[in-house]
Structure 1
């Protein structure tokens, strides 16, 4: 007992003279040396000899010194008293963002040996393959040595310094690698999951979020030094700039995501200028960083990040209070991230202790934020789906209401027309009654011609749309089958990936078996072909509908500028079924200017002339090939000329003179009303134009339409 008491007294006595020393005993594995440091922060660069004899060192009062941004190198002095049984110790500086670290160790003859490491050399030159800075300390047992450290950095200088035994240091490095690996795994899962969803739904919010996740992950991993270790170990110059560039890019993407996801333009328009300002600051940080002024770029990036955090927090809170459902997930996620940032900063300023939790607070908060935002994006899709269903239901209700109103108005209108007609019949004499009857007969004939054109239009459209629609519908069933196979495969692969009982090799083998069983490569090719077929069918249908939209302006009574070439093309779509792939169509279009016209009525003229031309060609050639239609356009300063020629039966002189007379037709009974060319003639006259005919029996006919570019009243 006396012996133990004397040893304890001796230990207390020795320790009383060890203030400012790092004491390593037999039970010590790892110690944080912050309060045992002496620091010197000169206003300019000084040499080691001047530092060695300097009396300006001041003792550190914190466990982890924070020097902020420093224009000159910082010097540290510390002593190590080795009372353990191990001569080999390891100095660990757990801040990889330092640009250069130099260790001065006492030598044999009182000289100091110099060892340096930093980002100005390739990573592979380091003795310890660790993102942090590690140095060997040779302190014999029961001796004390004094060491000097020279620290230089373009960013904020934060110095958690440890002295430990090699085994303890290896365990700590393994622990840090495991925590960072978990974070990287979470980032990759969120990245690929949301990227897959983006390709599925094509929502830009997912694209912005994927970009944000990617660069946030690079920033956080870069702060731990893993980017320099694994991604670009031979590019030390780029690594010193990468954190600023990645942080600014992630901030820019976060602002884009905020604007799109929260629909700021609709829910909180006043916040948009602040968002644009923050984006501009992030872009501005690129300029000095790429130019080599890293401290200035870092300051701008820090300022932009602080301002953007406040803007996003206030914006999401305001929109959430207004009742916008997706803002709840966003506000929760952003609050978690801000809480992690605050904990991280409080640790830097010694308000919170420096430990694993506070050191990894940002990564933990970032992982939670990513998960919450992913949930928010999924919930947003459901909300948009409900809004779409409600909008469709409301549109259907409005349509039904309009239909009811129109039906009632038609009844009232019909009653008034009948009453007025009765009054006219009673007040007019027999001559007026006869005249009215003649007008009604003429109107019925015109309507009959319109109905004939409508029948032709309906048949043409039905025939043209049927083919691409059949192509689309025939591809839907195999595409659904292939999609179900892919979903089943993804589910199986997910089960294998989440299994904890099998090795990675077994998982890979199981996944390859599933892909081989599904013939995965052929399945991708087949899906691509099916989607291509559906796209072609839909594109063709869209073209047909576009042509129908251009053509179907028959009842427009207002003059407007229109492209006659587009009108000809839309009319050809309508009569395409009459061509039967036997009649060759030759087009010679000039770049004619738009003309003032009645587009719908002009399209009716084209339809009548083309229908007659096709009838003449079919009458001559029947089922045999050889039929041709030639359509050409030209213009001068005042007029546009449209020529439609065929190589059909042609007309003799007597027929050519009567062709524009009402009710004259060369078709068989039931095939035409005889009003088509009469209507065409009147329409061209209404346009202040001319219609000319050249025809040779047995060789064909050519119609020339002359239309003024400017309609003259």
Structure 2
């Protein structure tokens, strides 16, 4: 046997003695076959890791390989995008077993998609039995990375027909997240190209916004644009540090600075944002209490800068929570300004909503509350990009507003000069006579117009009153018809009772009263009395319903009322006239919608619309349903009347609110019903009336009006 063969045998025996116990210890680890997945789509390695916590940060690779320590690894990690250890001082060892079941060696890329990890070590066994180790991290020079990328990427070679166990050691002064994925080499490079293109777009946008607002600052000399530039630059630098872009391109040799740069950028950008908000919302004058809160947070964030520079790990979690609270406070102050109807506050909230949403998502991801994925990882970039675009529009609008004010000032100056010129020529007699003639004509036209407007108002009032009386007349006729039945029953019953009483009196007078005759009379009298009472109650209910509806329809007095009860009363008053109709009315208005408005005009509108459905929506003998529903939102009541009748053509729909337009000309239609309805809704109720329809698909009338009419401060709603 040659010396080389002896050497190989001894080496294999030694490796078996050293590593066999460790192999037994992690024999149950979940193994990923790198030859069985599509390399274009990466595989999350979270569920394949076994985890060992090193609270004292003292374990070495040799100690980890011993059976006693190897047995402490915990496997069966849940499937997730990343391992999340939150804010911790511990180091963590991650054991991973990869298998190559193919006949050829495999080249794979192991990516840890989180740049803010202070120390990352990868230990991979070599073919000669030694361990090949790579030590890098955000706190080390960029040149230490195994692959030049803003995240931590390690090329991995897997021999054919082999299982390879490798170890990762991670430690961070920030929240420790390990979103590890395994890529095919080509798939990773394709994704890398797309990633850098996206980063180029984002930072190109940042550059464009910065240059644009610097030009505005130079042109307008308004410090708010300079504050905006400072916020955008610091936020972009913080994001670049957080994503590792700055480590790759701005400070590749930085050490401790790379670990704290993103915290510094975030703190300064939020401080700048608070100053920007004070300037934009003018909080010292408009919101003095909120301005005090802003000053407190500026001081607290300034103190975090000292803590970050001296001991990041001691203040990292508290600083992240402060960022979250500051984000909520900024949004709350913006909403407070918007509530006080500050136009600039509305613009501010709209522009910064996306950015303010990105901040909490990032912090909650760092705290392990939200999962780690593409959206949560890049939440600040997404929010920052949207914010820059929206705020650019807002600042452009501000610029346009300044230009409009300048144009208005020039126009006023020109008008003043024109008036001065005219004043110098007022002595010209021809101009005076022309002015007098013009004034006379204007007065004549004004008088004619006033008279015409007065006549139109009177005519409109007369039409509304006529419509009310016509509606009331129809209501009276219907109620009178409905009263015939109980009144007839009462008359017949009373007559029968009278005859029975006379017969009974005759029997008593003759002295032939018997017990059976008395019982028979009392039984009949009791039955007829009950029938009389029921008929009287029915008539009384009809009269009470008619009385309320009649009073409301002839009055424009504002009062509180229940919307469902109002609709039920008006529908009940119309049922006698609709008794022969084959279509039905389905009222689905929820109970408890209380309004403080004008029930009479509203009831007239409802009656007119129902009568309009009766006349126009359904052909004689046709079946269908008119559905009446209502809802309340932000103090506005929406009442919907929708039928499934024959509908209207676009031409008819476009003219239904024109005076004297009717599709039943010569058949009793005046063409004023819907005109009066719209005038009542827009004039008296202070709302809107809209219609939509299509041939064969029915019609919809939507009434929107304030639940509390003008002049009343109470709020409507559901009880």
The normalised TM-score by structure 1 is 0.50
The normalised TM-score by structure 2 is 0.49
